[in-house]
Amino acid sequence: MIRTTLAIGLVAAICASILTFRETDGQFPDRYQAVAMMESSDILALATANSPQLEYAYSLSEALGNVAPGATLYFPDDGLRIREWTGVKLAGFGMADSVVATSLTTSALEDTISVPSDAVIHTGEADADRSWEIILDPDGDHSSLVYMVPGPTNPNERIIETSLVNVDLAGDDA
Amino acid sequence: MILELTIVAVFFLAGAVVSYASGLRGATQAVGALVVASTLAPALGWLLIVLHLPVNLWVFGALGGAAVALALVWTTRRAAPGASNGHQRGAGIAWGWLAGAAALSLIAAFTVRALLLFKWSTDSLTYINIGATLANDTYPDTIYPALLEDRVVGTPLLHEASALQQEFFLHAATPLTAGAIAAVCTWGLWRVVGRALATRAGIATAVVAVIALLVTNRLVFTSFYINGHATVALGVAVLAVGAWVLAERSTHTGWAVVMVIAGIATVVTRPDSIVLLAIVLLPIVTQREIPRAVRIWVPASIGVAAIAWQSYMVWIWHSYATSMSKAALISLAAAVGILVLAALAATPWITRWQVWILAAGEWGLWALLAAAALLTTGLVKASGEATWENTVGNAGGWFPMLPALGILIAAAFVLLRRTTTRPMRFVVTAFVPLMMLLAVARGAAYRVGTGDSLNRAWTHIVPVAIVLLIALLALGSQRLIRASRLNTVASGS
């Protein structure tokens, strides 16, 4: 009797779950629904296209992966072994080949960079209200650099996060 | 598409070899293969990271290939003609079951990729981004303490192979993990109920379990969601359901190998896994009906791996942060605690005191929660209200299955008792105070909405709860016979 009653309860719960499945799904956006299909497998493009916050967060990494895959990234950390989310994003979604932490300060590294006159410049906006530029030197396959222009707010964050990344500045003949 | 199906086939082959080498036979061999295929990457990959070896696909593939080759050589030598057991080469390979499981895996992989069935959130992006750094070998030069502690490494490792096809995630990874959960749940019911009652009853209960899993909206969502919840749910199911099947003497002790692999994958998949594993392993260690060797070696293996992993985390904090994380130290202590459990399993008294140990553990958690409710300013109350809204109010998408399971299991717990189900029962009932305490530990209440961490974490125990309820309904209470009565019967008086 006890088991029969409880079994009826379980069957009722299953039936009620079937009846409410669609209604439950309907209260969530597509990507939180149980069975809705996505438009594309390019999850990074989906993210940056659907959310301004995610565009800020990932557009630079996405662009770096598109225009300069296989780059060597030099992160100035002033010798402090500082690692931040920006570095992981640029290395991962930026499809870097290797990452090197330099003991140079940001300003010292900045001094070593010169922008070629015929450089191809890609621009966009990154997190913390800062814009970015990827400046590609057309003379070399990987002779390119990424430059995040300090924004009007939080200029000091340039030091905390990796605000200047030298992408294989010395050039790569490969 | 071809590459993704190839990756699925390779992982399934590795799972099948490990399952066979573990001594599993028949349908259990295929279920073991599915579990190992879904957990092998996280269960192996973390070791490369700890050893400061590259985790790129070539190294990963070479080591995995070598491990599979060694397992194959070992098993074929053991079963070669003239060997002591006299078995024929290849004897014991469940060709039919393995072929069926492989075909289902490939069809599922094809379908989810063709229909673009995947779910993502900002967390998903973080996981697959870390996976990209693993694949291009920039992980050791970029990982930092807070990220390692929050996101761990299991989910990135699960998706790392997608780099072979210039993508950031494997479409098939999470759905196949969910498929393995369903396989473990149905296998457990089929084995135990089928043996205790009738094969037809075993199959019927397995079908009911599959239906219950399929109609639960958030379980279906989790089956496609790029995150670690499915892996943790699989680990919990493999350990808790597997322990029940072992306690019922309905499977080979080789299942312990599957338990260890799934358990280690769980350790490295979510930051709170280590405390969850503590409540999963406690009833296993104290369960008299489970063979002693399993009770010792499963927690010992998981404990050693957990200590190594948590030590690495402490080292990362020491190397790249100005202060040490309390959570990292507590997790390391919990890992040591799991190894201590293994040592205690070797003592004869621990099984005799199971009821008291489990009661002390569970009531201890509730007592801590009561103290936390008194000492914090509304955090526990806020968590409780949000959880009520998510489950009963359906803001989190769990209504009606989760509240119904709560009521039915509470009633079954009071009215139906079966000693061997304790490994499942304890994790289901202790999960509630444990998760409420974790909210206190992190200093932030749970919130209303499907993205809330507890709302997602229900997935970790709901499959086990479904198996527990169906098992109790099918088998009823255990007839307990006093030892003195047994002695009387044995002496013939």
For residues B380 and B384, what is the distance between their CA atoms, to the nearest angstrom? 6
Q: How far apart are CA A77 and CA B140, in angstroms?
A: 16
Give the per-residue pLDDT at B62: 81
Query: What pLDDT sits at residue A146?
Result: 61
pLDDT for A86 beyond 90: no
B426 lies in some domain: no
Enumerate residue ranges in chain B where pLDDT < 70.
Answer: 75-90, 478-493
Asked if residue B123 belongs to a domain, the reply is: yes
The pLDDT score that the predictor gives to residue B115 is: 96
Q: Is residue B406 part of a domain?
A: no
Give the tens place of pLDDT for each residue, A36-80.
Answer: 899 999 999 999 888 888 888 888 888 888 877 887 787 776 666
A36 to chain B: closest CA residue: B117
Q: Is residue B400 reached through a cis peptide bond, with omega within 30 degrees of 0 on the bond before it? A: yes
Tell whether B187 is covered by a domain.
Answer: yes
User: Which residues form the domain of B125?
Assistant: 2-75+94-349
Domain-embedded: residue B120: yes
Confidence of residue A158 (pLDDT cuts 50, 70, 90): very low
The owner of tokens 């922008």 is A115
Segment 309-328 of chain B within 8 Å of chain A by CB: 319-320
One-letter amino acid of B175: P
Query: Which range has the worst mean pLDDT, A74-88, A122-136, B361-375?
Result: A122-136
What is the model's pLDDT at position A96? 87
pLDDT, chain A, mean:
73
How many CB atoms are located within 10 Å of the residue B347 CB? 10
Chain A residues whose CB is inside 8 A of the B217 CB are 17, 20-21, 24-25, 34
Residues 6+ apart with CB under 8 A from B348: none
Contact flag A95-B136 (C-beta cutoff 8 Å): yes
Q: How many helices (H) and strands (E) does chain B have?
A: 23, 0
Q: Please give the pLDDT value at position A155.
A: 39
Residues 6 or more apart in contact with residue B1 via CB below 8 angstroms: B110, B113, B114
> A150 pLDDT exceeds 70?
no
Distance CA B148, CA B320 (A): 11
pLDDT at B373: 93
Could you tell me if residue B18 is inside a domain? yes
Structure confidence at residue A33 (pLDDT): 95
Residues with Cβ within 8 Å of B413's Cβ and at least 6 positions away in sequence, in order, are B425, B429
- Higher-pLDDT residue of B341 and A121 is B341
Question: Which residues of chain B make contact with A95, given a CB cutoff of 8 A?
Answer: 132, 136
The pLDDT value recorded for residue A28 is 93
- For residue B473, the model assigns a pLDDT of 95
Q: Cβ(B467)–Cβ(B183) under 8 Å?
A: no
Q: Which pLDDT value is given to residue A171? A: 38
Determine phi and psi for B222, rounding to 5 degrees: -65, -25
Q: What is the pLDDT of residue A173?
A: 34
Per-residue pLDDT tens for B307-355? Answer: 999 999 999 999 988 899 999 999 999 999 999 999 999 998 999 999 9
Strand ordering across the sheet containing A164-167: A98-102, A72-76, A164-167, A144-148, A130-136, A120-126
In chain A, what are the domain boundaries? 2-32, 43-167
Distance CA B129, CA B146 (A): 15
Number of domains in chain B: 1
Mean pLDDT of A92-97: 90
Instruction: Round to whole Å and give the CA distance between A96 and A61.
Output: 10
pLDDT at A21 (0 to 100): 96
Mutation target for A interface from B143, B147, B171, B215: give the one with most A CBs within 10 A. B215
Beta strands in A16-137 (DSSP E): 72-76, 98-102, 120-126, 130-136
Please report whether residue B370 resides in a domain. no
Question: What is the DSSP secondary-structure string of A1-34?
Answer: -HHHHHHHHHHHHHHHHHHHHHHHHHTS-GGGSS
Cβ-defined contact of B400 to A6 (cutoff 8 Å):
no
* Whole-angstrom distance, CA of residue B124 vs CA of residue B221: 14
